[in-house]
Amino acid sequence: MGESIQTCFNKYAEFTGRARRSEYWWFALFGFAISLVLSRALILGMIASLALFAPQLAVGVRRLHDTGRSGWYLLIGLIPFVGWIILIVWLATEGEPATNMYGESPKAGMV
């Protein structure tokens, strides 16, 4: 979990490449937990939301790249209810095992 969070913060402005499912979902859980904890402190909650926005956006784009989709498909989440369901399914889908147009599989470096 810690490695995924650190990777997302290190690549906060990197919208190229690919991200594994675990990287995306661990960071999503981290963001949810931080939001939940800081929801009572309005100013701290807003600062945390701003601090997490760019890394969450970047890892979402890289996650969609891993499934062979353009990062622009994140915008489908703007469609109420149906868009979120489609987006969650795509983000939970296993990535392409081979190299795709967005780069080498993140699993390629693993043994």
What is the CB neighbour count within 10 angstroms for residue 87? 19
Dig out the tokens for 8 from the structure: 């997302």
Task: Count the domains in the chain.
Answer: 1
Q: Give the pLDDT of residue 86.
A: 97
**Per-residue pLDDT reduced to its tens digit, 89-111:** 999 999 998 889 998 888 765 53
**Per-residue pLDDT reduced to its tens digit, 44-83:** 988 998 999 999 999 999 999 999 999 999 999 999 999 9
User: In terms of residue numbers, what domain contains 38?
Assistant: 2-109
Looking at per-residue pLDDT, the higher value among 67 and 42 belongs to 67
Question: DSSP assignment, residue 93?
Answer: S
Phi then psi for residue 25, to 5 deg, are -70, -35
- Please check whether residue 96 is in contact with residue 63, taking contact to mean a CB–CB distance below 8 angstroms: no
- Please check whether residue 66 is in contact with residue 102, taking contact to mean a CB–CB distance below 8 angstroms: yes
Rg (CA), the chain: 14
What is the separation of C-alpha 55 from the centre of its chain, rounded to a whole number of angstroms?
Answer: 8
Q: Give the pLDDT of residue 111.
A: 37
